[in-house]
Amino acid sequence: MSGVSPNDRPAITPVVVYGRPSCELSDGVRRYLESTETPYHWVDLDSNPEDAARLAWVTGGRVHSPVVSVGGEVLVQPTIGELDWALTRARRPVPV
């Protein structure tokens, strides 16, 4: 049997999705993460205005939904390709 099962993949650093429940882009990111069995933490910006204010500072102004943090790398409204690329980079072992 070839291939790598999801359980054999190296663990990645934390993934956090900041978004709004009514945002279709946020829903798409969450569906993608679930389909790839990538654990993530969801932060509802409507229910957590302090997180929205912090993101506005990090992103340099207005908060666009979703914002995804992959191991500290911040992606603003990422495409699935950009998200996949960041996840792939986060799974790579760090050279010693």
User: pLDDT of 33-91, one tens digit each?
Assistant: 999 999 999 999 999 999 999 988 888 888 889 999 998 899 999 999 999 999 998 88
* Domain membership flag for residue 3: no
* Domain membership flag for residue 16: yes
Bond before 10 cis per omega within 30 degrees: no
Q: Which domain holds residue 72?
A: 12-91
Number of neighbouring beta carbons within 10 Å of residue 18:
26
* Domain membership flag for residue 6: no
Q: Given this model, what pLDDT does residue 93 score?
A: 61
* Domain membership flag for residue 1: no
* Domain membership flag for residue 7: no
Give the pair of three-digit tokens for residue 44: 């509802």
* Domain membership flag for residue 70: yes
Give φ, ψ of 65 to 5 degrees.
Answer: -100, 135
In the chain, how many domains are there?
A: 1
As a whole number of angstroms, the distance between CA 34 and CA 27 comes to: 10
Average pLDDT over residues 15-44: 95
* Domain membership flag for residue 76: yes
* Domain membership flag for residue 47: yes
Residue given tokens 């969450």 in the structure block? 30
Q: Given this model, what pLDDT does residue 4 score?
A: 44
Q: Given this model, what pLDDT does residue 11 score?
A: 57
* CATH number of the domain to which 74 belongs: 3.40.30.10
Helix (H, G, I), strand (E, B) or coil at 16: strand
As a whole number of angstroms, the distance between CA 2 and CA 75 comes to: 32
**Statement: residue 2 has pLDDT above 50:** no
Confidence (pTM): 0.80
CB 87 within 8 A of CB 38: yes
